[in-house]
Chain A
């Protein structure tokens, strides 16, 4: 399994090493802890500051990352290295990206829709980016695929018993997406309108915004979503068809029962609810006053649940009208008991039987649902819970007199929601704390008053609450004509009439397994108040959902417990300082003022107004960063967003390891103690592991040199074990194996052309009207077919293009997407997706490189920059595509003459660099000839003992490798053509000839303008001219700048020049020698040489021999023809493809296949709307 080399790091050096090794035929795994290679990471050194220099590295990064032999492992932290040289196993912990690298095109639509902004610092400024964002916001990266920033689970979400994605729906509301917010809530639970009004909101209690100013008003927002969603409540939208036949009975239509029915219906069942009352909703309908929860809200929810296929039978009391056994006989297979707790507890004091003494449940039921129920003028409510407060407030609305509450503890111990108790006081209800009733007094039939006793708070009781203790002698009497007992309820379980049902003897609650809610009897589940005793709505809903899951498992015969837990997920620790939160006042719920409330039952709280709701939502701190609102997943047409992505551990096999992350990072997997000298990259104490320290002070060139040198060393190490390694998979080699769905070569003018429009996952066609483009493009001459694809840069996209091309028998295809050209060059603008597009197309279309696919960039050059002008952008798209069609029609496939490449190198000059290059090339298995000199140079170098020492040692090593070192001749003439140079060394009449594929020239350390080495090289010979060009106007460029250019437009000359470099220490010189050897090796490794597709051709019949082109470009030479006239000639392998000669050729003898004058003028015609509408007949 262990093959190739693992490179750890994301620096420019790591990329250079990866590219060098891959070009030498090794498989490379590039492991980086960051999400992508970026200009930021790679150019961290102070030596490179400007954007310009950064971009110059871009082609190198892109070529390295997209090399077929390089695999990128992003977000991967190395945790351990096991094994030994030849078979290392690198254990890597990967961090999820949540976006698929193979699909994401970085179109940015997700970013636009994302509702979460994460603070970050860009160039020293505090700013924000979306939770889903480009790997390095504001910078180009490879892969360009986005990533999502997540940080655990928000505290509000962990607090919610229903697991509602609170942060998610709030973030959607902050963007004004109310429908989406409600849908998100409804993914976890139904009854949003009810819960938004009466939930006890543990979420808000946990809200971290409270640490800044005050918590987000979450229940108000919950209600806001339910009330204001334009599409209303539609549970059916995402529900599957009714697919399960099993009958399920739910006893009780309270929140638990409704929730269970809702969840079961969503899972494809059609459950039946049996309700003893005529009204549906249980305590929600009978117990909660209408001014807190209007009937319409409840009814809307019930209707929506019914619409899911839930049957509700009202007026049926299970246990009395029908028994569980009856239902079993009728085919019901599972039961959920959610009968609530409706039976009032009694005080157990004298006088409870008097007329005028009622229980809270009956009072609320009567006042809520019956017409004409009357209330006394002196009402006393006994109790401190929600039903006491609700009873008092309901009674107050009907009573002409006094309403008060007696409670035996203090305000702090009241179990009623504090806000509601406060409202009660606002409405004029007095609460007598620390007051305990001893006896209800009456006149024999009717109640007249209550004898009470004052209490004080005593010791802590068994239930964790302080116990009230009577104060002796504090008895007193309160007048009352209506007494409401609201000290709690218990479930009426005996009424169910189920044998074997285990209940608590004290509270009469049903005993269940807390995890599964199953009772002792298999198939019968119970939840809600009948299990917990009186509790709140949200817990009841949670129980309903839990029971539904259990019932589903039960009916499918699955394990009821597997994968479930009662444990709440851990919520994320949030440092609120990092969230840049400014003080912003919490919204207030508008309400009917207390004086207007009497005598009416309308809802008091009016709900947040539209703008206030959105603003309140904006107060959210987004504790978990990404809110998982799923908006990005919905907007991405490519399906690239993967919220369920998980962290994982993977093992990567490798023969050798090169680590570019700093050696001092404390990683103990190297067996400390490196024998690195002077910062040179070297073997660590652990064989097969190299570390490279790229110092901050290193120049870019220095970093690249170090990286190339270590790559070469690793390649040499691989070579010692295995003589022949597979060459780079060459696209040209495998052409025979490709399908015959290929495009054919045809003569101009008659081509059948197809046009592909890439939607780029919706980013292009969201601006451009593709229908209009299709219609207009179809009018162009020669167009057979226009079709859309969602993504051209994926394997699937390329397959579809190939299939359509075959089906329509197309000769040429114009791809309107983001790619600009079909050339094998990588410019500063290129992207990983464009390279991927080219790779997939060339794998799928045989004659891809023959100019049969033409590209039109309608993304960056149209849709993206004209998003404010869709009409203009659509118009321009048609013009851009017609220019592509015009070029495609005229394209004649470039004829590329592949030539052999001699596997040997000639090194001229004898500085330490040259000798080191020779040594390293020999190690790579190439035959090497060294021409040492000139003497003046050597003499000067030799004056310094450390040079002499190094030189001697290198010479000795060369001798051991069997390499001949020749002495410097009088003149050197280098002829032949790239790939096969033929060098003549002339000393007087003595001439010796050397053939070589690559020539390396070491210009020593001379300070003169023209190094003496060049003097010896005949200017008339080919090498002389190349030097003239290279040395040219700028002076000699640094070898590694040339290396950077190579990654943009490839190297085809095989001539490598090391410019004079002053007084560099010998170690550094040796390193540079190795680096140039790496470039030469990679060049020679190709085995054969293809000139660039951009190379010019000169038509000797048209050339009039004026020499203007040769004056511009020293690669062009004037030759004498057989009839004595002059004619320009260029070796295509030397041509860089700039095209300057074409512009200056008076006869049009010089042409370039991809940009002739004809091409450019037809492009102009099309772009200016003057495209010819008639095909020229060839």
Chain B
């Protein structure tokens, strides 16, 4: 990977989250190639271990991209992912990496421009907080 780029992992839920990423592509929008998407069935599938794993592997930031409240395909309580997200943020703070490296985004279904805006804004924020994670050997 490009050493200077901001490495961003997006955990996207297969439903509304992925639909935003897909609409961005269909709408001819672009975003940096250092953004890497991991598709999961539902954000509630992602526990804090997986979020932290991304940082362990060198990610500069992790975005959790899921449905707006009430839109979940599985009627899963949105509190589940929020709890995991909060726990992971505490760990990030304790590790000195900074809580702001993990964000939870609920954006409307099919909002391609919204996704691109959020992801580019997040990259800009991360650029501000560098230097980031020491490169693992």
Contact = CB atoms under 8 A, between A and B. Distances in A.
A48 B22 CA distance: 22
B73 A1045 contact: yes
A1143 B41 contact: no
A1161 B53 contact: yes
B120 to A, nearest CB: 12
Interface stretch (B54-62, B96-104, B124-132): B54-62
B45 A1155 contact: yes
A867 interface: yes
Interface string B64-93: 000000110111110010001000000000
B19 to A, nearest CB: 4
Interface in A1125-1178: 1136-1140, 1142-1144, 1152, 1155, 1157, 1160-1161, 1163-1165, 1167-1170
B73 A873 contact: no
Given A1139-B40, A1143-B84, A1164-B9, A861 B21 contact: yes
Contact of B73 (A821, A860, A1049, A1170): A1049
Contacts of A1045: 73
A1163 B31 CA distance: 20
A867 B28 CA distance: 9
A1041 to B, nearest CB: 11
Contact of B58 (A875, A1048, A1163, A1170): A1170
Given A51-B110, A1139-B40, A1164 B74 contact: no
A865 B30 contact: yes
Contacts of B108: 50-52
A1034 interface: yes
Max chain A Cβ within 10 angstroms of own Cβ: one of B15, B58, B108: B15
Contact of B22 (A54, A829, A1138, A1144): A829
Interface in B1-57: 1-2, 5, 7, 9, 14-16, 18-19, 21-22, 24-26, 28-34, 36-42, 44-47, 49-50, 53-54, 57
Contacts of B41: 1094, 1137-1139, 1152, 1155
A1163 B9 CA distance: 11
A94 B107 CA distance: 41
A821 B33 contact: no
A864 interface: yes
A1033 interface: yes
Contacts of B109: 51-52, 55-56, 828
B1 A868 contact: no
B39 A820 contact: yes
Given A827-B19, A1034-B70, A1139-B45, A1160 B40 contact: yes
Contacts, number: 159
Interface in A846-875: 859-862, 864-869, 872-873, 875
B15 A1138 contact: no
A886 to B, nearest CB: 12
B115 to A, nearest CB: 10
Best-surrounded residue of B7, B26, B40, B80 (most CB of chain A within 10 A): B26
B19 A1169 contact: no
A55 B36 contact: no
A1166 to B, nearest CB: 9
Contact of B44 (A140, A862, A1140): A1140
A55 B57 CA distance: 35
A113 to B, nearest CB: 15
A828 B75 contact: no
A605 B21 CA distance: 55
Contacts of B45: 1138-1140, 1142-1143, 1155
Given A860-B21, A1138-B42, A1160-B40, A1168 B7 contact: yes
A609 B105 CA distance: 54
A50 B31 CA distance: 25
Nearest to B116: A865
A1106 interface: no
A969 B99 CA distance: 57
A821 B15 CA distance: 13
A800 to B, nearest CB: 26
Nearest to A134: B26
A512 B21 CA distance: 68
A1049 B75 CA distance: 13
Interface residues of A, number: 58
A1046 to B, nearest CB: 11
Given A828-B18, A828-B110, A1170 B80 contact: no
A861 to B, nearest CB: 6
Contact of A821 (B32, B39, B46, B49): B39
Contacts of A1155: 40-41, 45
A1112 interface: yes
A1032 interface: yes
Given A868-B30, A1045-B73, A875 B2 contact: yes
B119 to A, nearest CB: 10
B44 A1034 contact: no
A825 B14 CA distance: 10
A876 interface: yes
A879 interface: yes
B74 to A, nearest CB: 4
A652 B29 CA distance: 42
Contacts of B110: 51-52, 54-55, 828
B137 to A, nearest CB: 11
A468 to B, nearest CB: 67
Contacts of A873: 33
B50 A1034 contact: no
Contacts of A820: 18, 39
A634 B121 CA distance: 40
Contact of A865 (B16, B24, B34, B44): B24
A1037 B73 CA distance: 12
**Residue from A825, A1142, A1160, A1170 with most neighbouring chain B CB atoms (10 Å):** A1160
Contacts of B50: 1157, 1160-1161, 1164
B42 A1170 contact: no
Contacts of A1142: 45
Contacts of A825: 14
Interface in A1014-1046: 1029, 1032-1034, 1037, 1045
B29 A865 contact: yes
A1163 B109 CA distance: 25
Given A867-B30, A1034-B70, A1139 B44 contact: yes
Nearest to B25: A860
Contacts of B1: 875, 879, 1168-1169
B74 A1136 contact: yes
Contacts of B31: 865-866
Contacts of B73: 1045, 1048-1049, 1136, 1138
A1167 B42 contact: no
Given A1112-B80, A1157-B49, A1164-B9, A55 B19 contact: yes
A825 B74 CA distance: 13
Given A1029-B75, A1143-B84, A1157-B50, 10 more contacts: A52-B108, A828-B19, A828-B22, A865-B30, A872-B34, A875-B2, A879-B36, A1136-B74, A1157-B49, A1168-B36
25 contacts: A51-B108, A51-B111, A52-B110, A828-B22, A865-B24, A866-B33, A869-B32, A872-B34, A875-B1, A1029-B75, A1045-B73, A1112-B80, A1138-B45, A1139-B40, A1139-B45, A1140-B44, A1140-B76, A1144-B80, A1160-B38, A1160-B53, A1164-B50, A1164-B54, A1165-B57, A1168-B54, A1169-B1
Interface of A: 50-52, 54-56, 140, 820-821, 825, 827-829, 859-862, 864-869, 872-873, 875-876, 879, 1029, 1032-1034, 1037, 1045, 1048-1049, 1094, 1112, 1136-1140, 1142-1144, 1152, 1155, 1157, 1160-1161, 1163-1165, 1167-1170
Interface of B: 1-2, 5, 7, 9, 14-16, 18-19, 21-22, 24-26, 28-34, 36-42, 44-47, 49-50, 53-54, 57-59, 70-71, 73-77, 80, 84, 108-111
